[in-house]
Amino acid sequence: MEKTGSLFQGRGTLLSNGKLIDISKPLVMGIINVTNDSFFGGSQFRIKSRIASRAEQILIEGGTIIDIGACSTRPGSMPVDETVEIKRLTRALSVIRKKFPNAIISIDTFRANVAKVMHSDFGIDIVNDISAGEMDPNMFRTVADLKLAYILMHMKGSPKDMQEDPRYDNEITKELFGFFTQKIEMLKLLGVKDIIIDPGFGFGKNLDHNYTILKNLESFKVFELPILAGISRKSMIYKQLNTCPNKALNGTSVLNTIAILNGASILRVHDVKEAAEVIKLTEFYISQPKI
């Protein structure tokens, strides 16, 4: 009988802002949106008491990272002003850091100055940049200077137009390989080593693009970096099932399971408890011997 190991056999840790983040096994990133126009209303938290309760819920239910976004990037959206984004993040982080001073916090921003201010004021740990430095040329240098972990996501176009008939010159996984190769090299030349790659499900991709990426997700392990899957309640689920984001939890769990089995090491989700159960069951499944 052959007994298999963990699902994720890459690096064991990430170092960010002086903290070691254990990634020897898959982990959960829980979402807190402090916007008023997220595509899934259940992730919106704008009152301080609710923000604190949501952060506590993420940690209690098995989340390792709290990801906070203050500028909607849903399809068709326009970004809020930087001052508004900073004000929203400050309101959220002031209560979270007070109650959970050691929590691992990621901010979902494409603005280098926002990352700088939030690091200075609240000691954030990770920058989650949907634009991979394309929307702010200072982002890579800022992340390097602050010694933060960085989520490098692929997006074609901008949130305003990314879902208007997205097309690729080459097969999509080949295009993403070229994209990540170039961006990772740029980051490493600046001294950024703690990089997480995110193929950007739903960001400039149609249904076929998304499922092709999911089916070939394991191939991105060639970069020997953690892979983040942000599938939670997205249109690739509810459009295929002819439903809506509020009814897409079951489909999310199905695709999160596939993502973990195909090499994802971080699940970015709205529903932390269910994602943690996906990881626990898939880890147990993969550990069983083949007869």
Each residue of 152-209: pLDDT tens digit? 999 987 676 666 777 887 799 999 999 999 999 999 999 999 999 999 999 999 999 9
Write down the pTM of the prediction: 0.91
pLDDT beyond 60 at 60: yes
Neighbours of 58 (CB within 10 A): 25
Lowest-pLDDT range of 8-17, 19-28, 164-173, 202-211:
8-17
Q: Which of 46, 98, 234, 290 is catalytic?
A: 234
Rounded Cα–Cα distance for residues 10 and 227 (Å): 10
pLDDT, residue 7, reads: 47
Q: Which of 50, 268, 273, 290 is catalytic?
A: 268
For tokens 């001294």, the residue is: 191
The count of domains in the chain is 1
pLDDT, residue 170, reads: 77
- What CATH number did the domain enclosing 72 receive? 3.20.20.20
Give the Cα-Cα-Cα angle 174, 229, 275 (nearest 5 degrees).
155
pLDDT, residue 82, reads: 96
Share of the chain above pLDDT 90, in %: 78
Q: Which two three-digit tokens encode residue 210?
A: 């998304």
For residue 154, give the nearest of 89, 223, 86 by alpha carbon: 223
Rounded Cα–Cα distance for residues 142 and 75 (Å): 27
Domain that holds residue 231: 2-290
- Long-range contacts of residues 175-181, Cβ cutoff 8 Å, at least 24 apart: 176/213, 176/220, 177/219, 177/220, 179/132, 179/154, 180/152, 180/154, 180/220, 180/223, 181/223
Q: List Cα–Cα distances, 173 to 168, 169, 195, 217, 288, in angstroms.
A: 10, 11, 19, 9, 31
Q: Rounded to an integer, what is the distance from CA 23 to the centroid of its chain?
A: 14
Each residue of 79-118: pLDDT tens digit? 899 999 999 999 999 999 999 999 999 999 999 999 999 9
Q: Which two three-digit tokens encode residue 33?
A: 């949106």
> Is pLDDT larger for residue 203 or for residue 42?
203
Q: Has 98 been annotated as catalytic?
A: no
For tokens 């007070």, the residue is: 98
pLDDT, residue 38, reads: 56
pLDDT, residue 11, reads: 66
pLDDT, residue 123, reads: 97
Q: Has 234 been annotated as catalytic?
A: yes
65 neighbors 28 (Cβ within 8 angstroms): yes
Rounded Cα–Cα distance for residues 274 and 284 (Å): 15
